Amino acid sequence: MNARWDEGGGSRPTSSFDFDNDETMVMRALPQNIDPPHMSRAEARKQREARNKRAKRGKKVGVLALLVLVIAVLGVGAYGALWYMDRNKAAEDFAGPGGAPVVIQINSGETASEIGATLEAKNVVASSAAFYNAAIANPSEIQKVQPGFYQVPVQSSAASALDSLVAPDSRVGSVVIAEGRQLHDSSDAQTGSLKKGIYNLISEASCVGPVSAQKCVSTDELNTAGASSDLASLGVPDWAMSSVKSVPDKDRQLEGLIAASSWDFDPTATPTEILRSLVEGSAAKYEATGILTAGSGVGMSPYQLLVAASLVEREALPGDMAKVARVIVNRLAVDQPLQFDSTVNYSLDTTEVATTDADRERVTPWNTYAMPGLPATPIASPSIDALKAVESPAAGDWLYFVTINKEGQTLFTKSYEEHLANIELAQQSGILDSGR
Protein backbone atom coordinates (compact mmCIF):
# COMPACT_ATOMS: atom_id res chain seq x y z
CA MET A 1 0.00 0.00 0.00
CA ASN A 2 1.37 3.37 -0.98
CA ALA A 3 0.17 6.58 0.69
CA ARG A 4 0.49 10.04 -0.86
CA TRP A 5 0.79 13.17 1.19
CA ASP A 6 0.59 16.68 -0.04
CA GLU A 7 3.78 18.23 -1.31
CA GLY A 8 3.81 20.82 1.36
CA GLY A 9 4.62 18.09 3.89
CA GLY A 10 1.54 18.89 5.91
CA SER A 11 0.12 16.33 8.28
CA ARG A 12 -3.45 16.26 6.72
CA PRO A 13 -4.02 13.31 4.34
CA THR A 14 -5.25 14.16 0.82
CA SER A 15 -6.82 10.84 -0.08
CA SER A 16 -9.06 8.02 1.10
CA PHE A 17 -8.59 4.34 0.58
CA ASP A 18 -9.63 2.77 -2.74
CA PHE A 19 -8.33 0.21 -5.15
CA ASP A 20 -7.06 1.00 -8.65
CA ASN A 21 -7.00 -1.41 -11.56
CA ASP A 22 -3.99 -3.35 -10.31
CA GLU A 23 -5.61 -3.69 -6.91
CA THR A 24 -3.20 -1.20 -5.40
CA MET A 25 -4.95 0.68 -2.60
CA VAL A 26 -4.83 4.42 -3.25
CA MET A 27 -5.57 7.23 -0.75
CA ARG A 28 -8.25 9.69 -2.18
CA ALA A 29 -9.44 12.99 -0.78
CA LEU A 30 -12.27 13.04 1.80
CA PRO A 31 -14.59 16.08 1.92
CA GLN A 32 -13.40 18.22 4.83
CA ASN A 33 -13.59 21.86 5.84
CA ILE A 34 -10.13 22.93 4.96
CA ASP A 35 -8.69 26.22 4.03
CA PRO A 36 -7.70 26.64 0.39
CA PRO A 37 -4.02 26.29 -0.25
CA HIS A 38 -1.85 29.37 0.10
CA MET A 39 -4.69 31.15 2.18
CA SER A 40 -3.49 33.33 5.03
CA ARG A 41 -4.58 32.62 8.59
CA ALA A 42 -6.62 35.86 8.67
CA GLU A 43 -8.50 34.98 5.52
CA ALA A 44 -9.18 31.50 6.80
CA ARG A 45 -10.51 32.91 10.05
CA LYS A 46 -12.88 35.28 8.18
CA GLN A 47 -14.30 32.40 6.15
CA ARG A 48 -14.87 30.32 9.27
CA GLU A 49 -16.64 33.25 10.95
CA ALA A 50 -18.89 33.75 7.87
CA ARG A 51 -19.80 30.06 7.87
CA ASN A 52 -20.70 30.25 11.55
CA LYS A 53 -22.92 33.34 10.96
CA ARG A 54 -24.77 31.60 8.14
CA ALA A 55 -25.38 28.60 10.34
CA LYS A 56 -26.71 30.76 13.19
CA ARG A 57 -28.95 32.73 10.78
CA GLY A 58 -30.41 29.47 9.41
CA LYS A 59 -31.23 28.34 12.94
CA LYS A 60 -33.00 31.66 13.65
CA VAL A 61 -35.08 31.40 10.43
CA GLY A 62 -36.09 27.88 11.34
CA VAL A 63 -37.11 28.90 14.84
CA LEU A 64 -39.08 31.88 13.46
CA ALA A 65 -40.91 29.69 10.91
CA LEU A 66 -41.81 27.25 13.65
CA LEU A 67 -43.10 30.09 15.82
CA VAL A 68 -45.28 31.42 12.95
CA LEU A 69 -46.70 27.96 12.39
CA VAL A 70 -47.55 27.58 16.07
CA ILE A 71 -49.25 30.99 16.14
CA ALA A 72 -51.25 30.13 13.01
CA VAL A 73 -52.40 26.85 14.50
CA LEU A 74 -53.38 28.57 17.73
CA GLY A 75 -55.21 31.32 15.75
CA VAL A 76 -57.24 28.82 13.75
CA GLY A 77 -58.09 26.97 16.90
CA ALA A 78 -59.21 30.16 18.65
CA TYR A 79 -61.34 31.20 15.64
CA GLY A 80 -62.88 27.75 15.50
CA ALA A 81 -63.69 27.88 19.18
CA LEU A 82 -65.27 31.33 18.85
CA TRP A 83 -67.27 30.20 15.79
CA TYR A 84 -68.51 27.14 17.63
CA MET A 85 -69.50 29.14 20.70
CA ASP A 86 -71.21 31.83 18.56
CA ARG A 87 -73.05 29.19 16.56
CA ASN A 88 -74.38 27.52 19.63
CA LYS A 89 -75.24 30.55 21.73
CA ALA A 90 -78.88 31.71 21.86
CA ALA A 91 -79.80 34.07 18.99
CA GLU A 92 -80.96 37.52 20.02
CA ASP A 93 -84.75 37.58 20.30
CA PHE A 94 -87.47 39.94 21.45
CA ALA A 95 -89.49 38.87 24.46
CA GLY A 96 -92.72 40.28 23.03
CA PRO A 97 -95.59 40.89 22.92
CA GLY A 98 -95.31 42.74 19.65
CA GLY A 99 -96.29 46.31 18.97
CA ALA A 100 -97.99 48.01 16.04
CA PRO A 101 -98.10 46.05 12.76
CA VAL A 102 -95.91 46.87 9.79
CA VAL A 103 -96.21 45.60 6.22
CA ILE A 104 -93.49 43.33 4.83
CA GLN A 105 -93.18 41.63 1.48
CA ILE A 106 -92.17 38.02 0.90
CA ASN A 107 -90.97 37.24 -2.59
CA SER A 108 -91.28 33.96 -4.43
CA GLY A 109 -88.49 31.49 -3.63
CA GLU A 110 -87.21 33.24 -0.51
CA THR A 111 -85.60 31.08 2.17
CA ALA A 112 -86.26 31.25 5.90
CA SER A 113 -82.98 33.14 6.31
CA GLU A 114 -84.00 35.72 3.69
CA ILE A 115 -87.43 36.16 5.28
CA GLY A 116 -85.72 36.56 8.64
CA ALA A 117 -83.46 39.27 7.23
CA THR A 118 -86.53 41.17 5.95
CA LEU A 119 -88.22 40.86 9.33
CA GLU A 120 -85.08 42.04 11.12
CA ALA A 121 -84.77 45.06 8.80
CA LYS A 122 -88.37 46.01 9.64
CA ASN A 123 -87.72 45.57 13.41
CA VAL A 124 -90.21 42.71 13.57
CA VAL A 125 -87.64 40.28 15.02
CA ALA A 126 -84.43 41.03 16.92
CA SER A 127 -82.30 38.86 14.63
CA SER A 128 -82.70 36.83 11.48
CA ALA A 129 -80.98 33.94 13.28
CA ALA A 130 -83.80 33.79 15.83
CA PHE A 131 -86.41 33.60 13.06
CA TYR A 132 -84.39 30.96 11.24
CA ASN A 133 -84.25 28.86 14.42
CA ALA A 134 -88.02 29.25 14.87
CA ALA A 135 -88.59 28.17 11.26
CA ILE A 136 -86.35 25.12 11.66
CA ALA A 137 -88.25 24.18 14.80
CA ASN A 138 -91.60 24.52 12.95
CA PRO A 139 -91.07 23.26 9.38
CA SER A 140 -94.78 22.70 8.76
CA GLU A 141 -95.52 26.34 9.63
CA ILE A 142 -92.84 28.00 7.51
CA GLN A 143 -94.02 25.95 4.52
CA LYS A 144 -97.41 27.66 4.76
CA VAL A 145 -95.92 31.09 4.08
CA GLN A 146 -96.65 32.19 0.51
CA PRO A 147 -95.30 35.10 -1.54
CA GLY A 148 -97.17 38.33 -0.91
CA PHE A 149 -97.62 41.16 1.57
CA TYR A 150 -98.19 40.63 5.30
CA GLN A 151 -98.75 42.82 8.31
CA VAL A 152 -96.89 41.64 11.40
CA PRO A 153 -96.30 43.34 14.78
CA VAL A 154 -92.91 44.96 15.41
CA GLN A 155 -90.65 43.62 18.17
CA SER A 156 -92.26 40.20 18.18
CA SER A 157 -90.53 37.07 19.35
CA ALA A 158 -89.37 34.97 16.44
CA ALA A 159 -91.92 32.27 17.22
CA SER A 160 -94.82 34.73 17.39
CA ALA A 161 -93.63 36.43 14.19
CA LEU A 162 -93.89 33.08 12.42
CA ASP A 163 -97.36 32.56 13.91
CA SER A 164 -98.39 36.00 12.63
CA LEU A 165 -97.22 35.21 9.10
CA VAL A 166 -99.43 32.13 8.85
CA ALA A 167 -102.45 33.69 10.55
CA PRO A 168 -105.41 34.05 8.13
CA ASP A 169 -105.82 37.79 8.73
CA SER A 170 -102.16 38.75 8.29
CA ARG A 171 -102.20 38.66 4.48
CA VAL A 172 -102.85 42.10 2.98
CA GLY A 173 -102.89 43.48 -0.55
CA SER A 174 -104.22 40.20 -1.93
CA VAL A 175 -107.14 40.40 -4.34
CA VAL A 176 -108.83 37.93 -6.68
CA ILE A 177 -110.38 39.40 -9.83
CA ALA A 178 -112.89 36.96 -11.28
CA GLU A 179 -113.52 36.59 -15.00
CA GLY A 180 -116.11 39.07 -16.22
CA ARG A 181 -115.67 41.48 -13.30
CA GLN A 182 -116.13 45.19 -14.02
CA LEU A 183 -114.42 48.22 -12.49
CA HIS A 184 -117.57 49.47 -10.73
CA ASP A 185 -120.28 47.87 -8.61
CA SER A 186 -123.55 46.66 -10.10
CA SER A 187 -126.63 44.92 -8.77
CA ASP A 188 -128.66 42.03 -10.11
CA ALA A 189 -132.19 42.90 -11.21
CA GLN A 190 -133.51 39.47 -10.25
CA THR A 191 -132.00 39.10 -6.76
CA GLY A 192 -130.91 42.61 -5.83
CA SER A 193 -127.53 41.27 -4.75
CA LEU A 194 -124.52 43.54 -5.09
CA LYS A 195 -121.74 42.52 -7.43
CA LYS A 196 -118.61 44.26 -6.17
CA GLY A 197 -116.49 46.00 -8.75
CA ILE A 198 -112.72 45.75 -9.08
CA TYR A 199 -112.14 49.10 -7.35
CA ASN A 200 -114.24 47.93 -4.39
CA LEU A 201 -112.30 44.66 -4.15
CA ILE A 202 -108.96 46.48 -4.28
CA SER A 203 -110.13 48.87 -1.57
CA GLU A 204 -111.06 46.02 0.77
CA ALA A 205 -107.71 44.31 0.17
CA SER A 206 -105.78 47.52 0.89
CA CYS A 207 -106.80 47.80 4.57
CA VAL A 208 -103.89 47.68 7.03
CA GLY A 209 -103.42 48.37 10.73
CA PRO A 210 -105.31 47.32 13.84
CA VAL A 211 -109.00 46.57 13.36
CA SER A 212 -109.91 49.60 15.47
CA ALA A 213 -107.82 51.96 13.32
CA GLN A 214 -107.60 50.46 9.86
CA LYS A 215 -106.44 52.53 6.93
CA CYS A 216 -107.76 51.67 3.48
CA VAL A 217 -107.52 53.14 0.01
CA SER A 218 -111.08 54.16 -0.82
CA THR A 219 -112.94 53.30 -4.01
CA ASP A 220 -113.28 57.03 -4.72
CA GLU A 221 -109.49 57.44 -4.51
CA LEU A 222 -108.99 54.53 -6.88
CA ASN A 223 -111.61 55.85 -9.29
CA THR A 224 -109.99 59.29 -9.30
CA ALA A 225 -106.55 57.82 -9.90
CA GLY A 226 -107.90 55.52 -12.62
CA ALA A 227 -109.42 58.48 -14.45
CA SER A 228 -106.12 60.36 -14.65
CA SER A 229 -104.98 61.69 -18.01
CA ASP A 230 -101.43 60.60 -17.16
CA LEU A 231 -101.84 57.15 -18.67
CA ALA A 232 -98.14 56.32 -18.44
CA SER A 233 -98.28 56.68 -14.65
CA LEU A 234 -101.12 54.12 -14.67
CA GLY A 235 -99.03 51.60 -16.63
CA VAL A 236 -101.24 51.64 -19.74
CA PRO A 237 -99.32 49.69 -22.42
CA ASP A 238 -98.33 51.32 -25.70
CA TRP A 239 -100.69 49.09 -27.69
CA ALA A 240 -103.70 50.45 -25.76
CA MET A 241 -102.58 54.04 -25.27
CA SER A 242 -104.31 55.73 -28.21
CA SER A 243 -107.60 53.89 -27.66
CA VAL A 244 -107.65 54.67 -23.94
CA LYS A 245 -106.99 58.33 -24.62
CA SER A 246 -110.20 58.51 -26.65
CA VAL A 247 -112.47 56.77 -24.11
CA PRO A 248 -115.47 59.09 -23.62
CA ASP A 249 -115.95 58.31 -19.92
CA LYS A 250 -112.60 58.60 -18.11
CA ASP A 251 -113.96 56.74 -15.09
CA ARG A 252 -114.11 53.67 -17.34
CA GLN A 253 -110.82 54.07 -19.19
CA LEU A 254 -109.06 51.24 -17.32
CA GLU A 255 -111.90 48.78 -17.93
CA GLY A 256 -110.51 45.44 -19.05
CA LEU A 257 -106.89 46.48 -18.45
CA ILE A 258 -106.82 44.74 -15.07
CA ALA A 259 -106.86 41.05 -15.93
CA ALA A 260 -108.87 38.36 -14.21
CA SER A 261 -106.32 36.76 -11.88
CA SER A 262 -105.01 36.60 -8.32
CA TRP A 263 -102.96 39.70 -7.52
CA ASP A 264 -100.68 40.92 -4.76
CA PHE A 265 -100.04 44.63 -4.34
CA ASP A 266 -98.43 46.84 -1.72
CA PRO A 267 -101.34 48.22 0.33
CA THR A 268 -99.17 51.06 1.62
CA ALA A 269 -98.62 52.38 -1.92
CA THR A 270 -100.58 55.28 -3.45
CA PRO A 271 -103.74 54.56 -5.47
CA THR A 272 -101.88 55.34 -8.69
CA GLU A 273 -99.01 53.01 -7.76
CA ILE A 274 -101.44 50.22 -6.89
CA LEU A 275 -103.26 50.54 -10.21
CA ARG A 276 -100.00 50.73 -12.15
CA SER A 277 -98.76 47.47 -10.63
CA LEU A 278 -102.01 45.72 -11.60
CA VAL A 279 -102.22 47.20 -15.12
CA GLU A 280 -98.57 46.41 -15.89
CA GLY A 281 -98.94 42.86 -14.60
CA SER A 282 -102.10 42.42 -16.66
CA ALA A 283 -100.44 43.72 -19.83
CA ALA A 284 -97.73 41.10 -19.40
CA LYS A 285 -100.37 38.36 -19.10
CA TYR A 286 -102.19 39.56 -22.20
CA GLU A 287 -99.02 39.89 -24.23
CA ALA A 288 -98.04 36.32 -23.34
CA THR A 289 -101.09 35.09 -25.32
CA GLY A 290 -99.84 36.70 -28.54
CA ILE A 291 -102.23 39.66 -28.44
CA LEU A 292 -99.66 41.91 -30.13
CA THR A 293 -99.76 39.93 -33.39
CA ALA A 294 -102.84 37.66 -33.29
CA GLY A 295 -105.20 40.38 -34.46
CA SER A 296 -103.82 40.31 -37.99
CA GLY A 297 -105.74 37.10 -38.61
CA VAL A 298 -109.10 38.59 -37.64
CA GLY A 299 -108.61 42.23 -38.61
CA MET A 300 -108.34 43.66 -35.09
CA SER A 301 -105.82 45.71 -33.16
CA PRO A 302 -104.56 44.37 -29.81
CA TYR A 303 -106.96 46.65 -27.92
CA GLN A 304 -109.88 45.56 -30.13
CA LEU A 305 -109.02 41.95 -29.37
CA LEU A 306 -109.31 42.79 -25.68
CA VAL A 307 -112.70 44.46 -26.23
CA ALA A 308 -113.99 41.49 -28.22
CA ALA A 309 -112.68 39.07 -25.59
CA SER A 310 -114.69 40.90 -22.91
CA LEU A 311 -117.85 40.38 -24.99
CA VAL A 312 -117.06 36.68 -25.35
CA GLU A 313 -116.51 36.48 -21.59
CA ARG A 314 -119.93 37.95 -20.81
CA GLU A 315 -121.86 36.17 -23.57
CA ALA A 316 -120.48 32.61 -23.70
CA LEU A 317 -119.84 29.57 -21.59
CA PRO A 318 -116.28 28.20 -21.91
CA GLY A 319 -117.28 25.54 -24.43
CA ASP A 320 -118.84 28.12 -26.77
CA MET A 321 -116.26 30.89 -26.56
CA ALA A 322 -114.57 30.16 -29.89
CA LYS A 323 -117.98 30.06 -31.65
CA VAL A 324 -119.13 33.37 -30.15
CA ALA A 325 -115.79 34.86 -31.17
CA ARG A 326 -116.49 33.75 -34.73
CA VAL A 327 -119.93 35.41 -34.67
CA ILE A 328 -118.26 38.68 -33.62
CA VAL A 329 -115.69 38.44 -36.42
CA ASN A 330 -118.34 37.58 -38.99
CA ARG A 331 -120.67 40.41 -38.01
CA LEU A 332 -117.89 42.98 -37.97
CA ALA A 333 -116.85 41.83 -41.43
CA VAL A 334 -120.30 42.67 -42.88
CA ASP A 335 -120.82 45.76 -40.70
CA GLN A 336 -123.77 44.18 -38.92
CA PRO A 337 -124.48 45.45 -35.39
CA LEU A 338 -123.44 42.93 -32.75
CA GLN A 339 -126.63 43.47 -30.68
CA PHE A 340 -125.29 41.98 -27.45
CA ASP A 341 -127.37 42.48 -24.32
CA SER A 342 -124.17 42.48 -22.27
CA THR A 343 -123.20 45.78 -23.92
CA VAL A 344 -126.58 47.26 -23.00
CA ASN A 345 -126.15 46.16 -19.40
CA TYR A 346 -122.65 47.58 -19.12
CA SER A 347 -123.72 51.16 -18.55
CA LEU A 348 -126.64 50.20 -16.29
CA ASP A 349 -126.43 50.06 -12.50
CA THR A 350 -128.91 47.16 -12.43
CA THR A 351 -128.32 44.31 -14.85
CA GLU A 352 -129.91 41.06 -16.02
CA VAL A 353 -129.71 38.61 -18.91
CA ALA A 354 -132.82 40.06 -20.55
CA THR A 355 -132.81 43.76 -21.35
CA THR A 356 -135.81 45.99 -22.00
CA ASP A 357 -136.69 47.71 -25.26
CA ALA A 358 -136.00 51.06 -23.63
CA ASP A 359 -132.54 49.94 -22.54
CA ARG A 360 -131.69 48.66 -25.99
CA GLU A 361 -132.77 51.94 -27.58
CA ARG A 362 -130.55 54.03 -25.33
CA VAL A 363 -127.55 55.30 -27.29
CA THR A 364 -124.29 54.91 -25.38
CA PRO A 365 -120.67 54.36 -26.48
CA TRP A 366 -121.15 50.70 -25.48
CA ASN A 367 -124.68 49.75 -26.64
CA THR A 368 -124.15 47.53 -29.72
CA TYR A 369 -127.88 47.59 -30.48
CA ALA A 370 -127.68 51.33 -31.13
CA MET A 371 -124.51 51.33 -33.25
CA PRO A 372 -122.34 49.04 -35.38
CA GLY A 373 -118.85 47.94 -34.38
CA LEU A 374 -117.26 47.26 -31.02
CA PRO A 375 -117.97 49.10 -27.75
CA ALA A 376 -115.71 52.00 -26.75
CA THR A 377 -113.92 49.86 -24.13
CA PRO A 378 -113.95 46.31 -22.87
CA ILE A 379 -117.08 45.72 -20.81
CA ALA A 380 -115.32 43.54 -18.23
CA SER A 381 -112.05 41.78 -17.46
CA PRO A 382 -111.85 38.82 -19.84
CA SER A 383 -110.31 35.49 -19.03
CA ILE A 384 -107.24 34.34 -20.91
CA ASP A 385 -109.42 31.64 -22.50
CA ALA A 386 -111.78 34.29 -23.87
CA LEU A 387 -108.86 36.25 -25.28
CA LYS A 388 -107.42 33.16 -26.93
CA ALA A 389 -110.86 32.40 -28.41
CA VAL A 390 -110.88 35.77 -30.18
CA GLU A 391 -107.30 35.35 -31.31
CA SER A 392 -108.19 31.96 -32.84
CA PRO A 393 -111.97 31.77 -33.38
CA ALA A 394 -113.73 28.61 -34.51
CA ALA A 395 -114.37 28.10 -38.21
CA GLY A 396 -117.99 28.82 -39.14
CA ASP A 397 -120.42 31.12 -40.98
CA TRP A 398 -122.66 31.88 -37.99
CA LEU A 399 -124.17 35.30 -37.53
CA TYR A 400 -126.58 34.58 -34.68
CA PHE A 401 -126.63 32.70 -31.41
CA VAL A 402 -128.92 32.50 -28.41
CA THR A 403 -128.84 30.58 -25.15
CA ILE A 404 -132.08 28.66 -24.94
CA ASN A 405 -132.19 27.35 -21.36
CA LYS A 406 -130.78 27.83 -17.87
CA GLU A 407 -128.38 24.95 -18.43
CA GLY A 408 -126.52 27.16 -20.88
CA GLN A 409 -127.32 25.38 -24.13
CA THR A 410 -126.56 27.78 -26.98
CA LEU A 411 -127.62 27.48 -30.61
CA PHE A 412 -125.71 29.04 -33.53
CA THR A 413 -126.96 29.74 -37.03
CA LYS A 414 -126.43 31.85 -40.14
CA SER A 415 -130.15 32.01 -40.85
CA TYR A 416 -132.18 34.78 -39.27
CA GLU A 417 -135.37 32.66 -39.53
CA GLU A 418 -133.71 29.86 -37.59
CA HIS A 419 -132.49 32.38 -35.06
CA LEU A 420 -136.08 33.61 -34.48
CA ALA A 421 -137.17 30.04 -33.89
CA ASN A 422 -134.33 29.57 -31.39
CA ILE A 423 -135.40 32.73 -29.58
CA GLU A 424 -138.87 31.20 -29.11
CA LEU A 425 -137.23 28.20 -27.44
CA ALA A 426 -135.42 30.57 -25.09
CA GLN A 427 -138.65 32.38 -24.27
CA GLN A 428 -140.41 29.10 -23.54
CA SER A 429 -137.72 28.17 -21.03
CA GLY A 430 -138.16 31.50 -19.21
CA ILE A 431 -134.54 32.48 -19.57
CA LEU A 432 -135.45 35.76 -21.29
CA ASP A 433 -138.03 36.84 -18.70
CA SER A 434 -137.24 40.28 -17.32
CA GLY A 435 -137.28 41.12 -13.64
CA ARG A 436 -138.27 44.72 -14.38
Query: What's the pLDDT tens digit per position in 125-148?
Result: 999 999 999 999 999 999 999 999
What does the pLDDT average to over 49-54? Answer: 65
- Asked whether residue 436 carries a pLDDT value surpassing 60, the answer given is no
- Asked whether residue 430 carries a pLDDT value surpassing 90, the answer given is no
- Asked whether residue 25 carries a pLDDT value surpassing 70, the answer given is no
What does the pLDDT average to over 189-195? Answer: 85
Q: Which of 388, 393, 374, 381 has its CA nearest to residue 304?
A: 374
- Asked whether residue 74 carries a pLDDT value surpassing 90, the answer given is no
Cα 214 to chain center, whole Å? 27
Q: What pLDDT shows up at residue 349?
A: 80
- Asked whether residue 73 carries a pLDDT value surpassing 60, the answer given is no
- Return the higher-pLDDT residue of 326 and 61: 326
Least confident of 50-59, 335-344, 410-419: 50-59
- Asked whether residue 388 carries a pLDDT value surpassing 70, the answer given is yes
* pLDDT tens track for 347-362: 888 777 778 889 999 9
Q: Over pLDDT 70: what percentage of the chain?
A: 78
- Return the higher-pLDDT residue of 65 and 161: 161
What does the pLDDT average to over 275-288? Answer: 98
Q: pLDDT grade, residue 234 (50/70/90)?
A: very high
Q: What pLDDT shows up at residue 321?
A: 98
* Structural domain boundaries in the chain: 98-171, 184-397
For domain 98-171, the CATH architecture is 2-Layer Sandwich (3.30)
- Asked whether residue 79 carries a pLDDT value surpassing 60, the answer given is no
What does the pLDDT average to over 103-120? Answer: 96
How far, CA to CA in Å, does 252 sit from each of 195, 198, 245? 17, 12, 11
- Asked whether residue 194 carries a pLDDT value surpassing 80, the answer given is yes
How far, CA to CA in Å, does 17 sit from each of 7, 14, 80, 326? 19, 10, 61, 117
- Asked whether residue 44 carries a pLDDT value surpassing 70, the answer given is no
What does the pLDDT average to over 249-275? Answer: 97
The answer to whether residues 282 and 256 touch, using CB atoms and an 8 Å cutoff, is: no
Cα 318 to chain center, whole Å? 29
